[in-house]
Amino acid sequence: MATKILRPKALLGFSLAMLISLTTANLVFTLFYGFTISLTHSFGGLGGGIVILQEGAKSIHTSRVPLSLAKSLCRLPAVEAHAVTLTPLTLGGKPIVFRGVDTLNDYADKIVKGSLPTEEDLWVLLGEKASERLGLELGDIAVAGSPLSPSIVALHVAGAYRLGDLRDYEAVVPYEIGAELAGLPGGVASAIQVDGIEKGELESLIKSLYTLTIEHDAGRGRVVVLDSLNTPVAMFTMEEPGAEALQLPFGYYTIVYSESYLTANLTSILLTENRASTLRIPDEEVFKLKAVAPETEPPILQLEDGSSIQGRWIGNAWLFEAPRGLHTIMFGEASYLIPLIGDTTFNPRAVEEAPTRVEIRVNWQDGADVTDYLISVRDATGALLASIRSLSPLVTLNLPDGEYEAEVSKPPYLIKVRFRVPKQEAVTISLPVISNPSRIPPRLFQQLKAVTPIDASAATLSSLIGLTTASLVALMTSLTVLSIIAVFTVQKGLYSSAEDNFRVLWALGAGKGQILRMVWFKTLDLNLALGLGATYLALTIHEHLSFNLAFTILGYGLQVEPSLILTYSLMLSIASWFLSAAKLTPGMDAEA
């Protein structure tokens, strides 16, 4: 009876129109949810309380921040900072965002296939969704590349992870590979994630310039200030005792004294305010040099100025007393450069008689060979085992098993690297290179901003689709409202078309309650069925018509659970049905 009162044709039309409008509303909802909620809240999946980006950078992907800042921030108590690179590239020919990370902590217990890579290698970890989308399996080799970068890298799929956010659509690579693929200059990252500090405090810290006053009593040599990546950021020559005031941004700095090949770390300082540092570089101090050699083979020490001095036998070694400088010690026909900047024990025999051959290669960060430098190797006790001025980038030493520290001095650089024998038989030491002076610290510091991950995501989203978050929300809200209005209009239209019949019922003595029981309640089942049908249709469109991919940006997809669409669809269907009751009994009380 209800079907006939509502007119069968009108019901059929209503069902079709309702199915279309509800499906449309569901799709708009997924768009709204996918873009406005998921994307603006976790686009790029930046963790951390605060994100440091380049001021004026349109997106995270085009941002450039100094890598040294991350290292310096870690020196602050309770602060953790990680540099990341985020680069839209292709993997196996399909677009995807590559994330270069310096720690895999976030992924450690989220691996669903394969295992967490432990070695420095050409590996890539894929998010579960990315793995499905790209069709790549564990162990596959895929080529990563970008039209913007000349780099093409073949990576092997080491595993897949599931974090439950948009990072599941990304590919994770070691930081160095991420930087290489992104074409980032040395010492530069896309963004830095920071935990353990307030945004305002961080912003104030990184935006300010501080005065570092260095007082010294030396009449010669140079002072070089290195940042946390050992990149020189300031330098001055000492001609007479005095003070120099340097303007530097926040950072962890090492102050190095340099004279000819003699380089010495004088002090390190975390610059968070205006600071003064007094350097004492006494010219006339005398240091002790203990040379391990047989009593029968006395070595000779030739000083920097060309004069020679004899050693004194002290029972197990020869002892020399000499001023600071880069001297030469001669054992028979063999000679070694000795940078004397403190009391030193020198034992060349340990090197000559050792079983393991170790190759130490010195190059610039961009891969170019470094020539003409001084390299010293000390054992775990600090004793000097070898000291060589090398014109070749490759130095070969025989070393006994143990831990060592190699120090490369090429003024103004002073780089130290620890290694273990026999585990590491090849050691590479890279000196920082300034490939793009306009983009490295400290100038880069003046272009930094600290933002929340949401703001960073919003800016990125805006740059990708050309709409600000506000306009996107307005657009999506409008579409949502329109789709909801459409559902309510269709629902209301069903009863409008049968309005005459309701008047007949009333004229025959039916009250509101009776009309609702006779007609309205009978359409609840239909509305529930339509809500379910619209959910099925929306999901089918998503799955079979590649709706997801049609709205994919740089490989990111949409994250709407089917249960959420079902809830929304049924809620809309029932709400519109419930409110339509008013239309069912128009003017019944008016007695017109």
Partner 1 sequence: MEALKNIDLKVGKGEILCLMGPSGSGKTTLFKVSAGLLRPDSGRVMLLGKELYQLTFGERLSLRRNLTAFMFQEDLLIDTLSVRENVELPLIIEGYPRRRRVEFVERALEAVGLKDMKTRRPMEVSGGERRRISLARCLAKRPEILFADEPTSNLDTKTASAMLDLLKQANSQGATIILSTHDPLIAKQVGNIIYMRDGKLQNLP
- Among positions 93, 306, 437, 509, the unique one binding partner 1 when judged by CB under 8 A: 509
**Taking the complex as a whole, how short is the minimal distance between the CB of residue 580 and partner 1, in angstroms?**
19
**Taking the complex as a whole, how short is the minimal distance between the CB of residue 491 and partner 1, in angstroms?**
20
Which of 394, 582 has the CB closer to partner 1?
A: 582
Count of positions on this chain that bind partner 1 (CB under 8 A): 19
- Among positions 122, 482, 518, 532, the unique one binding partner 1 when judged by CB under 8 A: 518
- Residue 517 is a binding residue for partner 1 (CB under 8 A): no
Q: How far apart are CA 128 and CA 161, in angstroms?
A: 6
**Taking the complex as a whole, how short is the minimal distance between the CB of residue 19 and partner 1, in angstroms?**
22
Main-chain phi, psi angles of 488, to 5 degrees: -65, -35
What is the per-residue DSSP string for 355-423?
A: SEEEEEEEEETTSPBP-SEEEEEEETT--EEEEEEESSSEEEEEE-SEEEEEEEEETTEEEEEEEEETT
Q: How far apart are CA 250 and CA 570, in angstroms?
A: 56
Which of 318, 502 has the CB closer to partner 1?
A: 502
Q: How far apart are CA 362 and CA 428, in angstroms?
A: 6
Which of 1, 391 has the CB closer to partner 1?
A: 1
Which of 276, 504 has the CB closer to partner 1?
A: 504
CB atoms within 10 A of CB 240: 9
* Binding residues among 148-187 for partner 1 as defined by CB under 8 A: none
Which of 41, 503 has the CB closer to partner 1?
A: 503
**Taking the complex as a whole, how short is the minimal distance between the CB of residue 513 and partner 1, in angstroms?**
9
Q: How far apart are CA 323 and CA 284, in angstroms?
A: 6
Helix (H, G, I), strand (E, B) or coil at 51: strand
Q: How far apart are CA 534 and CA 208, in angstroms?
A: 57
The crossing angle, in degrees rounded to 10, of helices 524-544 and 8-31 is 50
- Residue 592 is a binding residue for partner 1 (CB under 8 A): yes
* Binding residues among 463-502 for partner 1 as defined by CB under 8 A: 501
Q: HEC profile for 138-195?
A: CCCEEEEEECCEEEEEEEEEEEEECCCCHHHHCEEEEHHHHHHHHCCCCCEECEEEEE
Where does residue 251 fall: left (phi above 0), alpha (psi -120 to 50 degrees), or beta otherwise?
left
- Among positions 368, 380, 504, 524, the unique one binding partner 1 when judged by CB under 8 A: 504
- Contact at 8 Å (CB) between 254 and 212? no
- Contact at 8 Å (CB) between 225 and 248? yes
Nearest one of 272, 254, 237 to 76, comparing CA atoms: 272
- Residue 587 is a binding residue for partner 1 (CB under 8 A): no
**Taking the complex as a whole, how short is the minimal distance between the CB of residue 500 and partner 1, in angstroms?**
8
**Taking the complex as a whole, how short is the minimal distance between the CB of residue 589 and partner 1, in angstroms?**
6
**Taking the complex as a whole, how short is the minimal distance between the CB of residue 506 and partner 1, in angstroms?**
9
**Taking the complex as a whole, how short is the minimal distance between the CB of residue 492 and partner 1, in angstroms?**
20
Helix (H, G, I), strand (E, B) or coil at 46: coil
Q: Which amino acid is at 562?
A: P
- Residue 591 is a binding residue for partner 1 (CB under 8 A): yes
**Taking the complex as a whole, how short is the minimal distance between the CB of residue 516 and partner 1, in angstroms?**
13
Which of 391, 592 has the CB closer to partner 1?
A: 592
* Site pattern 2..21 for partner 1 (x: CB under 8 A): --xx-xx-------------
Which of 9, 423 has the CB closer to partner 1?
A: 9
* Binding residues among 289-318 for partner 1 as defined by CB under 8 A: none
Q: How far apart are CA 370 and CA 410, in angstroms?
A: 9
What are the distances in angstroms from CA 273 to CA 204, 210, 312? 11, 6, 49
**Taking the complex as a whole, how short is the minimal distance between the CB of residue 7 and partner 1, in angstroms?**
5
**Taking the complex as a whole, how short is the minimal distance between the CB of residue 590 and partner 1, in angstroms?**
9
User: What CA dihedral angle connects 411, 416, 422 and 428, to 10 degrees?
Assistant: -60
Which of 370, 510 has the CB closer to partner 1?
A: 510
- Among positions 77, 508, 525, 563, the unique one binding partner 1 when judged by CB under 8 A: 508
**Taking the complex as a whole, how short is the minimal distance between the CB of residue 526 and partner 1, in angstroms?**
17
Burial of residue 320 (CB within 10 Å: 0-12, 13-18, 19+) is: buried
* Binding residues among 121-140 for partner 1 as defined by CB under 8 A: none
**Taking the complex as a whole, how short is the minimal distance between the CB of residue 45 and partner 1, in angstroms?**
57
The residue range among 119-127, 224-232, 458-466, 504-512 that interacts with partner 1, by the rule CB under 8 A, is 504-512
- Residue 562 is a binding residue for partner 1 (CB under 8 A): no
**Taking the complex as a whole, how short is the minimal distance between the CB of residue 529 and partner 1, in angstroms?**
21
Which of 1, 78 has the CB closer to partner 1?
A: 1
What are the distances in angstroms from CA 207 to CA 58, 193, 272, 449? 19, 17, 11, 8
Q: How far apart are CA 431 and CA 433, in angstroms?
A: 6
- Among positions 146, 452, 514, 552, the unique one binding partner 1 when judged by CB under 8 A: 514
- Among positions 293, 406, 456, 510, the unique one binding partner 1 when judged by CB under 8 A: 510
Which of 10, 532 has the CB closer to partner 1?
A: 10
Which of 345, 514 has the CB closer to partner 1?
A: 514
* Binding residues among 398-457 for partner 1 as defined by CB under 8 A: none
- Among positions 77, 296, 315, 507, the unique one binding partner 1 when judged by CB under 8 A: 507
Helix or strand (DSSP H, E) at 529: helix 524-544
Within a 13 Å sphere around the CA of 123, how many CA atoms are in the beta-carbon half?
18
Q: How far apart are CA 15 and CA 25, in angstroms?
A: 15
Which of 5, 264 has the CB closer to partner 1?
A: 5
Q: Report the DSSP beta bridge partners of residue 416.
A: 407
Within a 13 Å sphere around the CA of 212, how many CA atoms are in the beta-carbon half?
29
Which of 139, 513 has the CB closer to partner 1?
A: 513
Which of 404, 506 has the CB closer to partner 1?
A: 506
* Binding residues among 524-543 for partner 1 as defined by CB under 8 A: none
Question: Where on the chain is the footprint of partner 1 (CB under 8 A)?
Answer: 1, 4-5, 7-8, 501, 503-505, 507-511, 514, 518, 589, 591-592
